[in-house]
Amino acid sequence: MELKLTFRSFTAVKEPETCERYLEGHVQVLKDYGITNITTNNRQWMSLPNVHGIVAETESGEVVGGVRVHIADGIHPLPVEKAVGSMDPNVATIINQYFDSGTGELCGLWNAKSVAGVGISILLVRAGIAIVNQIRLASLFTICADYTLPMVRKVGFVVEDSLGKGGEFVYPNDNYIARVLRKMNAKTLETAEEFDRDRIFDLRDNPIQHTLESGPKGDVEIDYQLLIPKYE
């Protein structure tokens, strides 16, 4: 049976209920994998005006995945700074170099076990990068585990070798190696693979679209609603 999902953008402080459903699903996935100490697994982001997100919802309204974009505001550390900044103070230094032109972080990516393997992670990542033109970000950072490295490289993130041990951090626990990556240019996407770059640009130009996306287990029907709402 073909999977049908809606990818819907939201602003955290404007949609507390969406935030709760996002967090509940994310926490459950982390527990499923035995991870309980993720620093971003807290509630503070829900109250920050500089946080936007995308949720993947089923036809019945269940949230089965999500991703967030945090805008660097010079006041609240980005999640990557909280996660590994104590291991290498240069994390904050490098982020600050991009602050004036507008930078932020793609974070909090997850998908429920019910949709595992159908390929929505890469779709959420593309959608997350697609919305940054609406919030005027010129660059983007992320932190990822080894197993998601090929995916985030496809969309143009570059490992920041100068941080940690050749770009590597032991995080969130001894079983995992994490890497801090930066996207040099969130506007041109010059470091992304051609297919991914074209899809992200298409989502930017047409943030509301209905598309069949091909995944490892067949097609996924996505109703993209990526215009960040203008809340009253």
Superfamily designation of domain 3-225? Gcn5-related N-acetyltransferase (GNAT) (3.40.630.30)
Q: How many CB atoms lie within 10 A of CB 47?
A: 12
pTM for this one? 0.94
Q: 149: which residues sit within 8 A by CB, 6+ positions away? A: 159, 179
pLDDT at 212: 95
For residue 81, the model assigns a pLDDT of: 93
Across 49-60, b (16+ Cβ under 10 Å) vs e yields ebbbbbbbbbee
Q: Where are the domains of the chain?
A: 3-225
The DSSP 8-state label assigned to residue 166 in this structure reads T
Span 139-148, average pLDDT? 92
- The larger pLDDT score, comparing residue 147 to residue 223, is at 223
141 in Cβ contact with 80 (< 8 Å)? yes
For residue 176, the model assigns a pLDDT of 86
